[in-house]
Amino acid sequence: MKKCAWPNCKEEGTFAAPKSTKDIYDRQYFCQEHIKEFNKRWNGLDGMSDDDIFAMQTKSTWNRPTRRFGIHGVSAKTAQFTFANAEDLFTFFKQRQREENIRKSYGFYTEEEAEEVTPDVQEACDILSIKLPIDFATLKKTYLALMKKHHPDLNKGSKKEEDHVKKINVAFQIIQDYIKNLK
């Protein structure tokens, strides 16, 4: 049985801790209560000079020179992800990306693509009484017209209209986010 190294403690020392910062393999043992106190106070670099710290770091790399991070000598910051630059022999992906960008920018969709909206976007379209595709200017015009029509101040504080205005606001935000994600 090893006795706790804490002064005046008679408990069994079951938790190992280094005796000094110079030799961390020379161990002393503490009980559970005192190992917590020891760990709070421990500073592994206490009493070491800059040269001592450098020597310790050099020892941890076995005196080997370290290499820069990167790919084939190119720094990690400027290196490009190689998969993105992979050669597209049949230009399938480039052509597909070009077509998608054109359809998104001009608002052309096939009927299948128009139906592929999420349920929340479809519900928002129903609330605002709009059909996709729609540009932001038209969306905003529709939103303002509905707000004028259903605003509670214009409808004598109607609770029903107040709830409808909340739905209109949420629907407007959903469609606005949907339009932003298309770009």
- CB-CB neighbours of 20 under 10 Å: 10
For 109-182, CATH gives 1.10.287.110
Between CA 56 and CA 45 the distance in angstroms is 10
DSSP secondary structure code for residue 21 in this structure: S
Task: Tell me what pLDDT residue 85 has.
Answer: 47
Task: Tell me what pLDDT residue 76 has.
Answer: 57
- Tokens for 53? 């710290």
Indicate the domain borders of the chain.
Answer: 1-66, 109-182
- pTM of the model as a whole: 0.39
Going from the C-alpha of 133 to that of each of 25, 48, 147, the distances in angstroms are 70, 68, 21
pLDDT tens track, the chain, 183 positions: 789 999 999 999 999 999 887 777 899 999 999 999 999 988 878 888 888 877 777 665 566 666 666 656 666 555 554 444 455 555 555 666 677 667 666 666 555 555 567 788 888 889 999 988 888 899 999 999 999 888 888 878 788 888 888 899 989 998 888 888 776
Beta-ladder partners of 159 = none
